[in-house]
Amino acid sequence: MYGSGLLSSYGEIEHSIESPGVQRFPMQLEWAINRGFEIHRYQPLLFIVDSFDHLFSLVDRLEQWMKLGRLNDVAPGEPEVNEKDLRSFLS
């Protein structure tokens, strides 16, 4: 179990392991890069990395993408979510 938010919060660790409401998916850089999050709530979606070797290979790939300019169109800052979109996503 690793991740800055998970490691800093006992409640987040418990939630990530036990909550049936958490969606868990294999790590996909494209998805993770464009995924919004709220720092004041437990995360409803978590990415799974198989090992530190897997994590390091993803970091290497991300570094290559940055050098190639593949991340130049990623919007800075936290994304905004409006209530209409949120309701349509949850229904």
Q: What is the pLDDT along the chain (91 residues), one digit of tens a residue?
A: 666 555 667 778 888 888 898 898 999 888 888 777 777 788 888 888 989 999 999 999 989 988 888 877 766 666 566 677 677 767 6
DSSP 70: T
Residue 90: its pLDDT value, please? 73
In the three-class reduction of DSSP (H, G, I as helix; E, B as strand; rest coil), residue 18 is classed as helix
* Number of compact structural domains in the chain: 1
Predicted structure pTM score: 0.65
DSSP 79: P
DSSP 73: T
Residue 57: its pLDDT value, please? 94
Residue 17: its pLDDT value, please? 84
In the three-class reduction of DSSP (H, G, I as helix; E, B as strand; rest coil), residue 37 is classed as coil
Domain that holds residue 46: 4-90
